[in-house]
Amino acid sequence: MKNIKITIDGKKIKAQEGQTILEITRKNKIEIPTLCFHPDLEAKAGCRLCLVEIKGKKGMHTSCSTKVEQGMEIITDSLKIRRARKTNLELLFAQHREECNDCVWYDKCRLLKLSKEYGLNINRFSDRKKDFPCYQFGPSIVFDTSKCIDCRNCVEVCHNQGVNFFDIKEKNSFFEVVPTKDKKRDCIYCGQCLAHCPVGAFESVGEYEDIEKPFMDKSKVIVVQFAPAIRTSIGEAFGMKPGEVVTDKLVAAIRKLGVDKVFDVSVGADFTTMEEAKELMEKIKKGKGACLSSCCPSWVKFVEFNYPEFISCLATTRSPHIILGALIKTYWAQKEKIDPKKVKVISIMPCTSKKYEVERDELEIEGVEPVDYVMTTRELVRLLKKKNIDLRTIKPEPADHPLGIPSGAGVIYGATGGVAESALRTAYYMITGKNLKNVNLKDVRGMEGIKKAEINVKGLKAKIVVVTGTGNAIKILEELKKNPKAYAAVEVMACPGGCIGGGGQPLPSTPETRKQRAEALYQIDAKKKLRLAHESPIVQKVYKEFLNNEKTIHKICHTRYIKKTREVRI
Amino acid sequence: MPNQDIISKLKQSGLKGRSGSSFPTGLKWESVRNAKAKKKYIICNAAEGEPEVFKDDFILKNYPEKVVEGIKIALKAMDHSSAYIYINKNYFKKYGQKLKRLIRKLPIEIFQKKTEFGAYIGGEETSIIESIEGKRAEPRQKPPHPTQKGLFGYPTLVNNVETFYYVSKIVEGKYENTRFYSISGEIKNKGVFELPEDWIIKKVLEQTGNWPEFDFFAQIGGGGEGEIFLPQELDKPVQYLASIIIFNKEKTDPYVLMGKWVDFLMKGNCDKCAPCREGLYRIKEMIDKKKLEKETLDDLFLVLEETSFCPLGRGSTAPFKSLISKVLK
């Protein structure tokens, strides 16, 4: 890249050819408002707020999409720029029906922030979309088109996922974003539309109108379990840095809601690791076909709907919160002498798709659902704030026994590559009888879409591929179609960076925040003495006392998958 | 003819693109010719879509062989090139077979414009490229310009039907600095006329027997984005798109007229950027209510002209501004 010199607001600044004006201004801490711009996506330059003037060029230019050139003189603030930004903001405001109290952006709304900065007359124009419809995507996501500002980020992100659930249709001289009616395409509930919508036109089902309901049921023993990915992200909503580890504060905060027990889904992950490692071991030993991970319900749905020929390759092991939910209602309930029907399990998840997963009938155990309710990280945040529980000041408390102490392997489940790494640590032990000398499988860590590694297990070479984003997974599935032995293990998480970038997480979700959230999970693991699922005392105890026969193991820890036709009805 | 020759001939002729942008043709050709690439594309834009503009229709009807000849010259001038004729459905119906017969074995493909993706924007050059690539007809960010990175990422020359027609005339040595005028509205001789490009509009109207005897105003540059001129302002040549529409001042309801424009623009735009999508809608609201608020209108004109993504939005204010200031005052 060639170094060039440009001027911004009279100040000489060094830049590199190929960079956009916005990249340079952000780097130099020069404030330019943006709305539709998202670092994960192409600059679509639709909202026309990041306007600048360029000497010698007519009109105003969007800094997100304009590349710098040698000698360029850029002005980022002038009366004309302010007037144009204000007018465009008023136009955007008028197509967005406000429902601020119930918005996923809540106290981080950029429209509102900018409206104050630019002295907006937010009622200058009438709401163009006030009668626009709401669509519900299964039990997971609501798309309220009356809030949509037509930036089409959702269309792009869904396309990148290989899902293409959105169409752009013409109606009354407007091209509008609508969910498709095509029966060959279906939502996988990953919620990346939500995570990339700048104005909260998407929310998860129940967000936030139902956040108190699950806790109201006083006739039940209420058990809350929280996912691995949350401990390094929820702090952001309370003004902490991304990646700040708040596990025990989170436990204390949840306990303060008046629940009976707080368990850690990472313990469930240790059981998932045990079972998935067994499946993986079989595949590695037999050397035929790949074992596809199955913790991510969006990925599972993607396979069931788009690539049913791979259903038989999906690991039958249930996802961590489903296994832990099942153990709570069986093993733990028996110990505590509680009728499982009286136990209510609430999972706090970084995920919109888990709301869908818990409704799958095949997960029921003797008429009892392992998990009764799923709440997103954001929903928990709102509930805590409503109850004036502040994560910054609360005194940390450990999770409850006996399902509260996970291995480090169970914690890294929240990041892409974590499931594969955990399962391999244990599979290696199962095959060789020894632990890996170095349990850090760094090749499968990091934010890249596709990561590959090869492990030598007792002379057998096992190829592993770790994928984030279902769009990237298509490449691997197509490869496997041609060569079924291309990989022994395939881990796929639908969301960028894994669950830490899930559709239920605090906003915004950017490459930077996701990186920090993931790194913090690996730090938790690195600091733990217990880093292998098979060495976990609680895992060993439960296998000895309860999961000691194939029938029980199968009932609690395994499931099946079904070829799917379109589920979402529009 | 050697390549250098055609470029200098085009430059000498002073020919400017006839789609409305008036970019010097020689420069555009030179830019594509000089670009280094394994492949190059030539696109003939036959997607004429603006109301009351029908000169490409006329040329395709009467001189299709000259248009194809012009494309052929471009194919020769650009190494490793192939061409597309991007044509609207209606013109394809009328002239498709004839064009195919003329093309024979030349590397020219006829591409029918997809009507579902907005009518008008489909004529903007980067939108044409997107459309041929199978995407929605939406404008692209420039730079890179199509001459550097156009269709499928290769250097691409986009010229209008009329431009190619005149390229062939230039090569024949028969170019006499004329252009095709679409003349319509409340006149006696509606039609397309090939006349000198430097004639003032008044002369064009007089010579074609179309100078009105009643009080009138004219829209110059197309029935969607053309600017309004009063009779005494017609002492200059047409600058961009050569379309002249005459309105009887007494009989024309300016609000109905503005309503037509705004409906056309709203239907024809791609809705990608906020000022064009929402700004035009708010102008429509005011027109429907017959209540123009000056301050708001000024703000909307500003954002349309200066912050729209593409030329469609940026040029959309001209008819409203000029009608309001000259006729509605």
Q: What is the dihedral of CA A511, A513, A519, A522, to 10 degrees?
A: -110
The SS3 assignment for A559 reads: coil
pLDDT the model gives residue A1: 78
* Structural domains counted in chain B: 3
Out of A77, A110, A138, pick the residue that ends a domain.
A77
Residue A92 lies in a domain: no
Q: Give the best-scoring range by mean pLDDT among A72-86, A209-223, B124-138.
A: A72-86
Nearest neighbour of B266 by CB, restricted to A48, A152, A173: A173
Residue A324 lies in a domain: yes
pLDDT the model gives residue B120: 62
What whole-number distance in Å separates Cα of residue A472 and Cα of residue A494? 9
Residue A429 lies in a domain: yes
Residue in chain B closest to A152 (alpha carbons) equals B272
CATH number at residue B115: 3.40.50.11540
CA distances from A225 to A212, A436, A502, B40, B129 (A): 16, 30, 17, 60, 53
What's the mean pLDDT when you consider all of chain A? Answer: 96
pLDDT the model gives residue A561: 97
Amino acid letter, residue A315? A
Residue A137 lies in a domain: yes
pLDDT the model gives residue B122: 60
The SS3 assignment for A465 reads: strand
Residue A339 lies in a domain: yes
Q: Do A567 and A138 form a contact (C-beta atoms < 8 A)?
A: yes
Question: Which residues, listed in sequence order, are joined to residue A20 by a DSSP beta bridge?
Answer: A67
Nearest neighbour of B277 by CB, restricted to A43, A126, A150: A150
Specify whether B240 is located in the same domain as B296.
no
**H helix or E strand, kind and range, residue A420:** helix A418-432
pTM: 0.95
CATH number at residue A177: 3.30.70.20
Specify whether A68 is located in the same domain as A103.
no
Out of B194, B220, B248, pick the residue that ends a domain.
B248
Residue A488 lies in a domain: yes
Tell me if B271 and A47 make a contact (CB, 8 A cut-off).
Answer: no
Task: Tell which of B306, B308, B309 to mutate to test the A interface (max A CBs under 10 Å).
Answer: B306
pLDDT exceeds 60 at position A432? yes
Specify whether B191 is located in the same domain as B289.
no
Residue in chain A closest to B267 (alpha carbons) equals A173
pLDDT the model gives residue B118: 55
Chain position carrying tokens 């005149």: B166
Tell me if B278 and A168 make a contact (CB, 8 A cut-off).
Answer: no
Window 133-152 of B: residues touching A by CB (8 A cutoff) are 136, 141, 143
H-only helix segments in chain B? 3-13, 25-34, 55-62, 64-77, 89-103, 125-132, 161-172, 201-207, 254-268, 274, 280-289, 294-307, 311-315, 317-326
Tell me whether residue A470 is exposed, middle or buried, using C-beta atoms within 10 angstroms of its C-beta: 0 to 12, 13 to 18, 19 or more: buried
Specify whether A348 is located in the same domain as A453.
yes
Specify whether B167 is located in the same domain as B233.
no
CB < 8 Å to B307, chain A: 48, 51, 59-60, 62, 84, 88
In order, the DSSP letters of A493-543 are ESSTTSGGG-TTSPSP--HHHHHHHHHHHHHHHHH-S---GGG-HHHHHHH
CA distances from B243 to A460, A481, B101 (A): 76, 58, 30
Specify whether A200 is located in the same domain as A277.
no
Percent pLDDT > 90 in chain A is: 94
CB < 8 Å to B285, chain A: 125-126
Specify whether B96 is located in the same domain as B165.
yes
Per-block average pLDDT, block size 10, for chain B (329 residues)? 81 93 94 96 94 96 98 96 95 96 96 71 84 90 93 97 97 96 96 97 97 97 96 95 96 97 94 97 97 97 97 95 94
CA distances from B207 to B194, B223, B234 (A): 11, 22, 14
Beta-carbon contacts of residue A424 (< 8 Å; ≥ 6 apart): A277, A280, A436, A441, A455, A462, A464, A489
What whole-number distance in Å separates Cα of residue A498 and Cα of residue A422? 14
Specify whether B154 is located in the same domain as B55.
yes
CB < 8 Å to B271, chain A: 150, 174-175
pLDDT exceeds 60 at position A466? yes
Distance from CA of B147 to the nearest CA of A (A): 18
Distance from CA of B117 to the nearest CA of A (A): 8
Tell me if A46 and B274 make a contact (CB, 8 A cut-off).
Answer: yes
What whole-number distance in Å separates Cα of residue B277 and Cα of residue B300? 11
Specify whether B317 is located in the same domain as B201.
no
* Structural domains counted in chain A: 3
Tell me if A44 and B116 make a contact (CB, 8 A cut-off).
Answer: no
Strands A134-137 and A141-144: antiparallel
Nearest neighbour of A48 by CB, restricted to B266, B273, B285: B273
Question: CB pairs below 8 Å between A and B: how many?
Answer: 82
Query: Which residue range(s) make up the domain with B13?
Result: 3-172
Beta-carbon contacts of residue A273 (< 8 Å; ≥ 6 apart): A409, A410, A419, A422, A423, A425, A426, A533, A534
Question: Which residues, listed in sequence order, are joined to residue A176 by a DSSP beta bridge?
Answer: A169
Specify whether A152 is located in the same domain as A27.
no
CATH number at residue A16: 3.10.20.740
Beta-carbon contacts of residue A568 (< 8 Å; ≥ 6 apart): A136, A137, A138, A165, A179, A186, A187
Q: Establish if B309 touches chain A: CB-CB under 8 angstroms.
A: yes
Q: Do A538 and A405 form a contact (C-beta atoms < 8 A)?
A: yes
Nearest neighbour of A87 by CB, restricted to B136, B303, B314: B303
Q: How confident is the model at residue A288 (pLDDT cuts 50, 70, 90)?
A: confident
**Start-to-end C-alpha separation, chain B:** 56
pLDDT the model gives residue A382: 97
Beta-carbon contacts of residue A175 (< 8 Å; ≥ 6 apart): A150, A168, A169, B118, B270, B271
- Paired tokens of A201: 């036109």
- Paired tokens of B68: 């194809």
Tell me if B303 and A84 make a contact (CB, 8 A cut-off).
Answer: yes
Specify whether B55 is located in the same domain as B101.
yes
CB < 8 Å to A54, chain B: none
Residue A436 lies in a domain: yes
The SS3 assignment for B273 reads: coil
Specify whether A391 is located in the same domain as A313.
yes
Beta-carbon contacts of residue B153 (< 8 Å; ≥ 6 apart): none
pLDDT exceeds 80 at position A303? yes
Specify whether A383 is located in the same domain as A454.
yes
Tell me if A60 and B270 make a contact (CB, 8 A cut-off).
Answer: no
What whole-number distance in Å separates Cα of residue B19 and Cα of residue B166? 13
The region, left, alpha or beta by phi > 0 then psi within -120 to 50, assigned to residue B43 is: beta
pLDDT the model gives residue A132: 97
Specify whether B28 is located in the same domain as B71.
yes
Query: Which residue range(s) make up the domain with A278?
Result: 213-557
pLDDT exceeds 70 at position A297? yes
pLDDT exceeds 80 at position A417? yes
CB < 8 Å to A125, chain B: 282, 285
pLDDT the model gives residue B124: 84
pLDDT the model gives residue A18: 93
Task: Tell which of A34, A42, A48 to mutate to test the B interface (max B CBs under 10 Å).
Answer: A48
Out of B248, B271, B287, pick the residue that ends a domain.
B248
> What's the whole-number mean pLDDT along residues A166-180?
95
Q: How confident is the model at residue A568 (pLDDT cuts 50, 70, 90)?
A: very high
Tell me if B277 and A87 make a contact (CB, 8 A cut-off).
Answer: no
Specify whether B102 is located in the same domain as B205.
no
Tell me if B275 and A88 make a contact (CB, 8 A cut-off).
Answer: yes
Nearest neighbour of B282 by CB, restricted to A60, A62, A91: A91
- Paired tokens of A279: 């499946």
Specify whether A304 is located in the same domain as A443.
yes
Side-chain-side CA neighbours of B111 within 13 Å: the count stands at 24
Residue in chain B closest to A46 (alpha carbons) equals B273
Task: Tell which of B135, B141, B291 to mutate to test the A interface (max A CBs under 10 Å).
Answer: B141
A92-101: pLDDT as tens digits = 999 999 999 9
pLDDT the model gives residue B4: 66
Specify whether A454 is located in the same domain as A380.
yes
Out of B142, B172, B202, pick the residue that ends a domain.
B172
A134-152: pLDDT as tens digits = 999 999 999 999 999 999 9
CATH number at residue B200: 3.10.20.600
pLDDT greater at residue A122 or residue A82: A82
Question: Which residues, listed in sequence order, are joined to residue A491 by a DSSP beta bridge?
Answer: A466
DSSP A549: S
What whole-number distance in Å separates Cα of residue A453 and Cα of residue A105? 38
> What's the whole-number mean pLDDT along residues A292-320?
97
Distance from CA of B136 to the nearest CA of A (A): 9
Specify whether A308 is located in the same domain as A181.
no
Tell me if A91 and B118 make a contact (CB, 8 A cut-off).
Answer: no
pLDDT the model gives residue B21: 82
Specify whether B233 is located in the same domain as B290.
no
Percent pLDDT > 70 in chain A is: 100
Specify whether A466 is located in the same domain as A370.
yes
Residue A505 lies in a domain: yes
Out of A186, A204, A222, pick the residue that ends a domain.
A204
CATH number at residue B286: 1.20.1440.230
pLDDT exceeds 70 at position A315? yes
The SS3 assignment for A214 reads: helix
Nearest neighbour of B271 by CB, restricted to A48, A51, A174: A174
Q: How confident is the model at residue A285 (pLDDT cuts 50, 70, 90)?
A: confident
Amino acid letter, residue A57? K
Specify whether B208 is located in the same domain as B231.
yes
Specify whether A309 is located in the same domain as A396.
yes
H-only helix segments in A96-238? 110-117, 153-160, 192-196, 213-216
Specify whether B137 is located in the same domain as B100.
yes
pLDDT the model gives residue B20: 82
Distance from CA of A204 to the nearest CA of B (A): 26
Of A348, A341, A292, A340, give the one whose Cα is nearest residue A320.
A348
Nearest neighbour of A94 by CB, restricted to B266, B278, B299: B278
Nearest neighbour of B271 by CB, restricted to A87, A125, A150: A150
Beta-carbon contacts of residue A242 (< 8 Å; ≥ 6 apart): A232, A233, A235, A236, A512, A513, A516, A517
Residues of A engaging B, defined by a Cβ cutoff of 8 Å: 43-48, 51, 58-60, 62, 65-67, 80, 83-84, 87-88, 91-92, 94-95, 124-126, 128, 149-150, 152, 168, 170, 173-175
Specify whether A245 is located in the same domain as A388.
yes
- Paired tokens of A131: 């009668």
Out of A20, A42, A77, pick the residue that ends a domain.
A77
